[in-house]
Structure 1
């Protein structure tokens, strides 16, 4: 079995990505962004966001360092950009600004901000790139690939089955969840930017 799958690497990669991507923590944000949309639209947004995240994570796992090197982009710069984008979405949730593109009902929120940078954000991208460097044989590749797939399945399950909650809490509950999600998302965004600034100061950018 060890020739086909490195269970230690699988566990390490899965736990790391699970903590960073935080399937449970995405639920209030998902409920906030899908409020006012039909049940079918919300379900479609769930799997589309997971698909977008999976494609982005996989692309960076294989070609991430080459892409960044070609564009002369450092990892802290990518992290800061993701943090600023999340901060814009967080401010929109906190203020209830329905005039922004991400708040409009006809906008596909599965791409931005759900798919990226919320799920496939700088933290998840960097972690996946680091684990891809540890792939030296088929067992390593299977472990990392399976970890990425399992985490995305967990994310889909969390978002998919959060929809009954949306029906229970109704409009007033959605408003409360939206404000809480905006606060959490703004904290995540500020932390991303702060980490990027520290990396720049340390000379890693």
Structure 2
């Protein structure tokens, strides 16, 4: 039925959940509010959903303009996921966010929508997953994740009290390990397809 697969939805949801890391970004959201920046949960969620779904469909076309196949991009995306997992597990900062990009007043678009929710890691992950999962399952996973993001943004203070500093720390480490395993799987599965493609072109 349209490629609907519950296991794929759960798997894609967990990958995106770890990449977006809304709970891990709670301190950033709170810091923005303390600087008198406004965050509009509905607008942030709506814009993020539109951007992610659009990129899911036109991302491959963009790759074709640069003559990059999906397997190559999936491996590149897996490497980005690998780096993000290292950040989460070891607590190092590799991808830096410019604190001065949020401008004055509203922080909804920058840096909340981009790059915190729809950053380079999320984009590469979406296209990497297209090599593995059915599109409809990825879309459902995106919507579920953005719904979670909305709840976090809408109830920031409650989320902070509920999870506590220790809860956020444990969650980041746990999903960091999951991301690391997923990155390895993406690299190994797509590497075979890439090698086969190169060999067929050489013949």
TM-score, length of structure 2 as denominator length: 0.65
Change beyond 3 A, Cα 1:189–1:30? farther
What's the RMSD between the two structures over aligned residues?
Answer: 3.6
Aligned match of 2:174: 180
The alpha carbon displacement at 1:15 in A equals 4.4
Q: Number of paired residues?
A: 174
Change beyond 3 A, Cα 1:16–1:73? farther
Q: For 2:24 and 2:40, how far apart are their aligned partners in 1? A: 11
Aligned match of 1:116: 123
The alpha carbon displacement at 1:85 in A equals 0.8
Instruction: Note the residue ranges of structure 2 that are not aligned, 5 or more in a row.
Output: 103-110, 199-203
Aligned match of 2:151: 161
Change beyond 3 A, Cα 1:16–1:104? farther
TM-score, length of structure 1 as denominator length: 0.65
Alignment of 1:99-110 (within 5 A): 100-101=95-96, 107=111, 108-110=115-117
Instruction: Note the residue ranges of structure 1 that are not aligned, 5 or more in a row.
Output: 1-7, 132-143
1:35/1:174 contact within 8 Å kept: no
Q: For 2:40 and 2:175, how far apart are their aligned partners in 1? A: 17
The alpha carbon displacement at 1:56 in A equals 0.6
Q: Which secondary structure state, in structure 2, belongs to the residue aligned with residue 192 of structure 1? A: helix
Q: Deviations over 1:47-92 (max 9, x none)?
A: 44433211111324xxx3x544442222210110100011111111
Q: Deviations over 1:105-129 (max 9, x none)?
A: 96522222564234x231236645x
